Chains A and B, each alone.
Chain A
Amino acid sequence: MDFDLPPEHASFRDAVRELAQAVALPVAAEVDRDHRFPEEAVSAAAEAGLMGVLIPREYGGAGLDALAFTLCIDELAQACASTSVIIDVHTSVGSEPILLFGTDEQKRQWLPRLASGELLGAFALTEPAAGSDAASLKMTARRHRDDYVLNGTKVFITNIGRAGLYVVFARTGPEERAAGVSAFLVPAETPGVRVGQMFKKMGLNGSPTGELVLEDVVVPVANRLAAEGQGFTVAMRALDSGRIGISGQALGIGQAAVDESTALLRGRTREQGDDFTLADMATRLESARLLAYNAAWLCTAGRPFTREASVSKLHCTDTTMQLALDALQLAGEEGAVSGSPFERHVRDAKALQIYEGSNQVQRIVIAREVIQ
């Protein structure tokens, strides 16, 4: 039993920290205020090789593991939550499905461009009537000789409009629910692909979220990921890893809240009530960190980690929501003023309890594993 980070992971984390603090942190408030894409932070991350953390070296990536990925997202989120979610979605659900389920040809075709950051990845599963109940999705993909023709609308798509490649889930057969779902790689420039409504959110304002509308979009069979009917399996496996990434985001926002609270309390008269709040915050964050590392470690070791990823996502994000609120409470009025990191963390943290499987869905997953 050894809870220490391996030295190479620790130095990787330090390198990401340096970059995030230098490039992402200075723009975090502005990106939030102006609802603008953190171009400079994402570009810097791409130059540093952070868009291909999980992609093997033979495809131009860094060839690192789930733990390194968690650390990367954690460090980015400490600086700027919007930047972290853009890179998280790109890396996990936006690229990893190709890594896990793609043919050699698909890997060669797409992974180098994703790893370099030339293409930004995105994941299109959710629909207006299919959120937590993803298996009820309605988007269709009709086979037509060597092509599929996709029609339908996806919502709440992170990296919308910025992504060069969407992993899209659509119905290929008459089979009910999950059995009829297949996965496709849809390049953004394909005719018929358009951005629908853009959503104005309460947080993560630098990360574009919106509708992806597909109207008679023709993609070759070569762009189908895994066999017909295997799409739901692809989605669920992608989300398992995705939950590790979201845990990393939660750790980052939570750590920022703890660090800022610590600095705040150091600078004013000590009150025991405040001290106790900080002690509880730090304790919960430490427990969350261990759960995230545990899930990442299991994933890397090739062991089952579905339950642990859900446990981690649930605990990390619930913890961070509470931490962000506690930190804001410690900061008082000044923390509630627009532009303050304290109020931004509260708005950013809320999304984490909802996306990549709401925390109610996590509880369903955990309960299923525990009770069976």
Chain B
Amino acid sequence: MDFDFSEDQVAIRDTIRELVQDRVAPRAAEIDEKAEYPKDIERLFAENGILGIPFPEEYGGISGSSVTICMGIEEIAKACATSSLILAVQALGSYPILVAGSEEQKRRLCPPLASGEKVAAYALSETGSGSDAAAMKTRAKRHGNEYVLNGTKQFITGGSIAGTLVVFAQTDPEANHKGISAFVLEKETSPWQSSKLEHKLGIRGSPTAQLVFEDVKVPAANRLGEEGEGFKLALAVLDRSRPGIGAQALGIAEGAFDYALNYARERKQFDQPISSFQGIQFMFADMATQIEAARHLVYLAATKVDAKAAGLTKTAAMAKLFASDMAMKVTTDCVQILGGYGYISDYPVERMMRDAKITQIYEGTNQIQRVVIARALLK
């Protein structure tokens, strides 16, 4: 048993922390206000190897460890949730390749992602198929050595800016979820269109796209696994990515907590810092406790990803559920501690509260997490 990060992990985290403080934190408010994708931050992450964290060295990356991915996401999310999604989605979009790809596919598809030359995205949801992912309508029909994709994907994080896109589509609609297959689309050879970008409550700098596929051709060599294995893969990927969303929620909560704590030490009312009032102190004690509880669940889940341990599905769902519910509560309380200042955009905590909300919704709503957990408990 060892609750400490390794020295290597701490070194990576400290590097990211410094970079985030210097370069990301000063941009966060503007990214949110303008709701523009921070291409500069993406390039910064690419240049500093951060986009290579999801990949093992043999595929051009620097880690491949879920614990390290989570540490990176957490650090970035402390300052800017939008920017943390750049790493989170790089991991999400690459997991299918790393989990189900052949050696040839990994060697071909991963290095441009690991170097940060390209960013990845993951296209599962559709307008009529959110929590019920198996109900998807996007079709992939085989013609010789390629597939032709038709359909529309909804709420695809980074779908408009990705160079590599993993798409789930029906190859055998009669077979329902057993007819779903996974494909890797590369923008240059299989161009897709983004038809609209959503205006959102939070993570406003992260483009959430509707993607349209009209006779988009994909080489059969870019199918991941066998036909019909896509749904199983989608679920396996979510088991691996959910700890990352937990880490994002954790980072958002910590960012808000740290800000509110400094504020409470400085802010004077009734001739004393508001941090001297027990009502405020108890809020901090509860928040610190909940953050710590969430942190352990997130990293437990991440270690299970790395160890390919049994029970990952349940633990990953627990980490995502607990951390995101915690982040929503903590950021709301931090707004409360700043009072009127917390509610205005001159201060970052209202943004963090808006950013926290999505963590309860995406990568499986928290209702879906409860379904997953209950199923594991009652099986």
* Chain A interface residues (CB < 8 Å from chain B): 1-6, 9, 67, 262, 265-266, 270, 272, 275-276, 278-280, 282-284, 286-288, 290-291, 293-294, 297-298, 308, 311, 314-315, 360, 362-368, 370-371
Contact = CB atoms under 8 A, between A and B. Distances in A.
Interface string B258-270: 0001001100000
Interface in B24-75: 67
A311 B1 contact: no
Nearest to B323: A287
Contact of B285 (A4, A266, A314): A314
B59 to A, nearest CB: 23
Interface stretch (B163-171, B232-240, B296-304, B350-358): B296-304
Contacts of B377: 262, 278-279, 282
A270 B377 CA distance: 13
Nearest to A9: B1
B293 A278 contact: no
B359 interface: no
B297 A67 contact: no
B296 A371 contact: no
Given A270-B378, A370-B284, A1 B303 contact: yes
Given A282-B318, A287-B293, A287-B297, A1 B284 contact: no
12 contacts: A1-B9, A2-B2, A272-B371, A280-B370, A290-B293, A290-B296, A290-B300, A297-B2, A314-B289, A363-B285, A366-B285, A368-B281
A265 B376 CA distance: 13
A74 to B, nearest CB: 15
B292 interface: yes
Contacts of A371: 261, 264-265, 275, 281, 284
B1 A293 contact: yes
Given A278-B373, A279-B373, A291-B296, 12 more contacts: A1-B299, A6-B1, A276-B374, A282-B377, A293-B3, A294-B296, A308-B292, A311-B293, A315-B293, A367-B281, A371-B261, A371-B281
Nearest to B288: A370
Given A291-B292, A315-B289, A315-B293, A1 B6 contact: yes
B4 interface: yes
Nearest to A291: B293
Interface residues of B, number: 43
A3 B1 contact: yes
Given A6-B1, A290-B300, A363-B282, A311 B288 contact: yes
B322 A287 contact: yes
Contacts of A314: 285-286, 289
B195 interface: no
B321 interface: yes
A interface: dominant SS: helix
Contact of A276 (B3, B265, B315, B370): B370
Interface in B277-313: 278, 281-282, 284-286, 288-290, 292-294, 296-297, 299-300, 303
B129 interface: no
Given A276-B370, A290-B300, A1 B288 contact: no
Interface in B339-379: 367, 369-375, 377-378
Nearest to B379: A266
Given A262-B377, A282-B377, A367-B284, A290 B1 contact: no
Contacts of B281: 363-364, 367-368, 371
A247 B293 CA distance: 13
A367 B286 CA distance: 9
Q: Which of A1, A266, A280, A293 has the most CB of B within 10 A?
A: A1
A286 B1 contact: no
B49 to A, nearest CB: 21
A353 B261 CA distance: 26
B285 A297 contact: no
Contacts of A290: 293, 296-297, 300
A311 B292 contact: yes
Q: Which of A6, A270, A284, A366 has the most CB of B within 10 A?
A: A366
Contacts of B67: 1
Given A287-B296, A311-B288, A2 B303 contact: yes
Contact of A262 (B1, B375, B378): B378
A288 B378 contact: no
A311 B292 CA distance: 8
B268 to A, nearest CB: 15
A286 B288 contact: no
B2 A1 contact: yes
A279 B370 contact: yes
